[in-house]
Amino acid sequence: MSAPVHVEVDGAVGVIRLDRPPANAIDLATGLALQEAIREVGARPEVGAVVVWGGPRLFAAGADIRAMAEWGPEEVRPSVDALGAACDLLEELPKPVIAAVTGYALGGGLELALACDLRYLAHDALLGQPEIRIGVIPGAGGTQRLVPLIGPGRTRELVYTGRTVDAEEALRIGLAERVVPAAEVFETAVADARSLADGPRGALAAAKRAIRAALTEPGARGIRRERELFLGLFGTPDQREGMRAFLDKRQPRFGASVDRPGAARGD
């Protein structure tokens, strides 16, 4: 049996691909494999940004319901804990993460996409948390990550009804950042990830932490957290290069001291 998750590195972009046909259902083994893949791209210094996708036909259609149908709470816990931990790792990864969504992203599949920083959808993509239709609710962070994106009212409506959202509605309500033709969604995500990876990686990591603080430490604590992250970037090579480039009226060459493709040449 082939591995349910693959990691490929294309220059400065790490690609995490779900590969569990026919629907990329996320079982215990897949959740654990996702954790391993996320740790791998996180540990590779040449990787500056990450794309998560499920292949050209679909992203992920949720949990393995056939396996779970007769389970009790303790039997299902390892699987939901595994997916939840993978989502937490993605959210905490100090690198930008883009979900490239084709076809369906349902249930656990949407929860995985929600843990990414950005969601790029194919025109025909469908998203949803349909768990209510099988007598349960999202269990790997779906309700918690939907609320900051689309608000409590829309979250209630989607979770209570279990209905799916098409790509245009997802874009309109803030559930997606880009909608492109299905044949272009992966390439677009990789191209944008490569552009991010060429940027000031320390500042991007700080930005990700600061934005996360707006959700976990709202108000004065989050503002203080942002300020400390801002101050911590002064004196770093990328801060020096960025400001010198601005004053010199040229494009900055970030990452000269980072182990990344082309760093020594400033490509």
Is the same domain home to 242 and 189?
Answer: no
Q: Which domain holds residue 110?
A: 5-197
108 noted as active-site residue: yes
Q: Is residue 267 part of a domain?
A: no
The answer to whether the bond into 22 is cis (omega within 30° of 0) is yes
Is the same domain home to 190 and 206?
Answer: no
Is the same domain home to 45 and 94?
Answer: yes
63 noted as active-site residue: yes
Partner residues linked to 164 by β-bridges:
128
Is the same domain home to 168 and 231?
Answer: no
Q: Is residue 169 part of a domain?
A: yes
Quote the strand ranges of the chain, DSSP E. Answer: 5-10, 13-18, 49-53, 97-101, 104-106, 118-122, 126-128, 164-166, 178-180
Is the same domain home to 132 and 225?
Answer: no
Q: Which residue in 99, 103, 109, 111 is the catalytic one? A: 111
d(C-alpha 98, C-alpha 120), whole Å: 7
189 noted as active-site residue: no
Q: Which residue in 131, 193, 207, 210 is the catalytic one? A: 131
Q: Is residue 212 part of a domain?
A: yes
- Structure token pair of residue 86: 């993978």
Q: Is residue 67 part of a domain?
A: yes
Q: What is the pTM of this model?
A: 0.92
pLDDT tens for each residue of 11-63: 999 999 999 999 999 999 999 999 999 999 999 999 999 999 999 999 998 77
**Dihedral angle at the C-alpha atoms of 81, 20, 72, 87, nearest 10 degrees?**
20
pLDDT tens for each residue of 113-165: 999 999 999 999 999 999 999 999 999 999 999 999 999 999 999 999 999 99
| CA distances (Å), origin 203, targets 3, 92, 150, 207, 236 | 34, 15, 26, 6, 10
Residue for token pair 């770093």: 236
Domains identified in the chain, total number: 2
Q: Which residue in 108, 139, 141, 202 is the catalytic one? A: 108
Is the same domain home to 180 and 87?
Answer: yes
Q: Is residue 261 part of a domain?
A: no
Q: Comparing C-alpha atoms, which of 16, 229, 259, 7 is closest to residue 116?
A: 16
| Residue at a domain's end among 160, 182, 197 | 197
Is the same domain home to 134 and 232?
Answer: no
187 noted as active-site residue: no
CATH number of the structural domain spanning residue 20: 3.90.226.10
